[in-house]
Structure 1
């Protein structure tokens, strides 16, 4: 047991070391290329970090700080993602349990899920006020991965589990909540992680096209129009870092509350 724990710790530390080395090499290559090219459109990492500090302290050209932009994007995202979870999960459970409902709605669901969420932006801008536009776009991006993964997870529940529960006298409600849903949780959570990533990408793209003054997507567009690429990269990297942190937080939540499932980290 001790040896297994030691090997696991060693493997984890080795992976972390490899990640640090790869990031350091990337940054070094970036610095070298920036010096060689000496172009205002290819700023160095030090320039980007310096600009990030200035935007953090002094704000952008309109006075909004980097944290304010990030907070605006995160708030919009969680509004849409939360709505996608509380609609996609129960609807997916119902459709997974009642195949006839899914078959009746399949001709509606399947075409809609192939429409990129950003394609709905013009319609969202016409029909909805500012904040709700972004919630709708994020909801569209996150809803279908959650819905379809829930349906798939419910359908793939082993009949053996259900039969054993019936033998022990479990009623229909107990079978659904204590057998079927727990069995489907790995796929449901995987769909939520996918929805999280898609939803985060959608909010940033929507902010780029929307008219709101704040948001990381809007920050990128502001400075790109002014050809200040170092400031644009500040917004770009902020998006990536926040996305990474949200994904890691989701993984830690899985590990803490669902210890019984096999851990597969991607």
Structure 2
């Protein structure tokens, strides 16, 4: 595994696994929560240590139970979760504290490695209150890093007006269908690490080019795409329910794309 150093010095695995459909009936986002989560068990066995969760996924407690029952030491894990922008969680500082405390309980831990605001909070006062609670838990050591998700430049500018702690990451959609080049440039200027959700999305013509590049390295087009992202300093959190695909998504550290390949992919 390779790591990226966040702006507060914390090291984050550059590849993690999403969990938004893990442990759910028919592997569907809105599916009922099951009693087991074999896809997370296999991910841990294969070496995944960065686990990306969220309150809105409804499966924090199940994910937390599997993590606690695994033989992986807590210090090796990098647990991320997210507080929804909904009023239930942001209407007051007490509501935000309750949400964080419940996530800590669900994950059976006394600290989270990364906590994000799941989507922009449009009300500036509520955003300020929520971020101040994040900072409070960060200063207390209960959160090792804090950040945001799905924030655009104007949202980051608003946060900057009062934030004492700069967000460490912005988790956004980054893939060949939605490359987000302009926002990535903003994050680079601000020293905020981009984390890509949905990193595997491609059009058919793009997949053909990726597959062609992959032949040179004896890799799949999907592995080429993930390698392209991490070479640019982007953390990726691909998700799969298939053990072989999970393994393949980790098998991207033994080759390096040429500058020409990177440029070709960027222009797809």
Fold shared, TM-score > 0.5 on shorter chain: no
- Higher share in strand: 2
The one of the two structures with greater contact order (alpha-carbon pairs below 8 A, sep at least 6) is 1
TM range (shorter): under 0.3
